Amino acid sequence: MDRIRITGGNELNGTLPISGAKNAALPLMIASLLTDDTLTLDNVPHLADVESLIRILGNHGVDYSVNGRRENQQKGYSRTIHFTARSIVDTTAPYELVSKMRASFWVIGPLLARMGVARVSLPGGCAIGTRPVDLFIDGLRALGAEIEIEQGYVNAKAKNGLIGNRYVFPKISVGATHVLMMAAALAKGETVLENSAREPEIVNLADCLNAMGAKISGAGTDTITIEGVTSLSGARHRVIPDRIETGTYAMAVAMTGGDVMLEGAQADLLEAVLDTLEQTGAEITRTNSGIRVRRNGAGINPVDITTQPFPGFPTDLQAQFMGLMTMAKGRSHITETIFENRFMHVQELARLGANISLSGQTAVVDGVSELRGAPVMATDLRASVSLVIAALAAQGQTEVNRVYHLDRGFERLEEKLSACGAVIERISS
């Protein structure tokens, strides 16, 4: 099993390219099931989750081809992939595939909308708390689907097609908003989704579906209206830059000091995060080509955060921010409101010398003047990279084990950080 070795203490300086967003690419790839034409996606990151989903889509009959990076293109840039679901050969998404990645459950919406039937295993994914599929099921039932859960599978039918309806999400869910938006695109009549997620990835999917011939308005607000159409065509669409990767590397610079241009990053995708980083003492410059992050050696100011749905501070950057706060000049409070079990990185950060205590859903972080390298273990995708951030500033060597979590969400992490001066290497078992 691979691990990453980091020798801390170096500033980060240079240019770091931001890849396409994993959380945008996955639903866009799944949208290819809605049409028998080719959907071409640009800026798709090369990640373990993307490769897993390609295999899952292939199980349903989706063909794909990849345009690799040009010979002189800088490392770290993503790919163009063409997806063609000419015919759906299987409407079952089996446990052995879905259990490896939660987002693969989302195929239930397009399969049901296009084929009138879907049998999808209940999902797996990161162990960061219970993430039930009740909202997906209730929403699809509101569109006329007949659904039963049997032996670990969700069996869904809509023999005469889905019917547009009004559905109010009882709580905000990015995944359920993705699924119902895709399903409603081919439903008969109008669907209105209220209390919808507002994340940029929702907007990116809506823009893609509209390019395919869907009639969707209101994406990015809490009310999305979809006028169903009889069929969708192919299209070409670009995956937005990864705001979580952007925020992660911005925090790494704030942690180590230095001056890095995050090339291709879009500030409007994470303004709450950038505002918070400025409060810590980092200097943030928004440009047409990306985001420049600098810290000139001054200390890190403690800042309190509470995770919230977009446009608030994202839960997917909570662990990374905690890593940054371990060396702040004082006490900070980090409150997690999205997932109930997303503090598993605390004990691993403590191995590096962090002083963190937990009180319910709030972590109290008392900054220390020095962290020291130690062997640590990644527990999930975002927790793993919080350990990298801390290790970059720690004295001595840190080895991060179980880096397959990192490979799920960060494209060429070692190469990108090494190019900016980090001493970091992958060690293969």
How would you classify the pairing of strands 223-227 and 235-238?
unpaired
The answer on whether 23 is annotated among ligand-binding residues is: yes
The answer on whether 22 is annotated among ligand-binding residues is: yes
The answer on whether 316 is annotated among ligand-binding residues is: yes
How many whole angstroms from its chain centre is CA 297? 31
The answer on whether 102 is annotated among ligand-binding residues is: yes
- Catalytic annotation, pick one of 126, 143, 260, 371: 126
Instruction: Copy the structure tokens of residue 22.
Output: 């994993």
- Phi and psi of 146, rounded to 5°? -100, 125
The answer on whether 30 is annotated among ligand-binding residues is: no
In angstroms, the CA 38 to CA 226 distance is 22
What string of H, E and C letters represents the secondary structure of the chain? CCEEEEECCCCEEEEEECCECHHHHHHHHHHHHHCCCEEEEEEECCCHHHHHHHHHHHHHCCEEEEECCCCCCCCCCCEEEEEECCCCCCCEECHHHHCCCHHHHHHHHHHHHHHCEEEEECCCCCCCCCCCCHHHHHHHHHCCCEEEEECCEEEEECCCCCECCEEECCCCCHHHHHHHHHHHHCCECEEEEECCCCCHHHHHHHHHHHHCCCEEECECECEEEEECCCCCCCEEEECCECHHHHHHHHHHHHHHCEEEEEECCCHHHCHHHHHHHHHHCCEEEECCCEEEEEECCCCECCCCEEECCCCCECHHHHHHHHHHHCCECCEEEEECCCCCCCCCCHHHHHHCCCEEEEECCEEEEECCCCCECCEEECCCHHHHHHHHHHHHHCECEEEEECCHHHHHHCCCHHHHHHHCCCEEEEECC
126 flagged as catalytic:
yes
The answer on whether 131 is annotated among ligand-binding residues is: yes
Give the number of other CB atoms < 10 A from CB of residue 303: 20
The answer on whether 423 is annotated among ligand-binding residues is: no
How would you classify the pairing of strands 397-401 and 423-427?
unpaired
How would you classify the pairing of strands 63-67 and 79-84?
antiparallel
Cβ-Cβ contacts under 8 Å for 132 (sequence gap 6 or more): none
Binding-site entries for UDP-N-acetyl-alpha-D-glucosamine: 102, 131-135, 316, 338
Binding-site entries for phosphoenolpyruvate: 22-23
Binding-site entries: 22-23, 102, 131-135, 316, 338
Please give the positions annotated as active site: 126
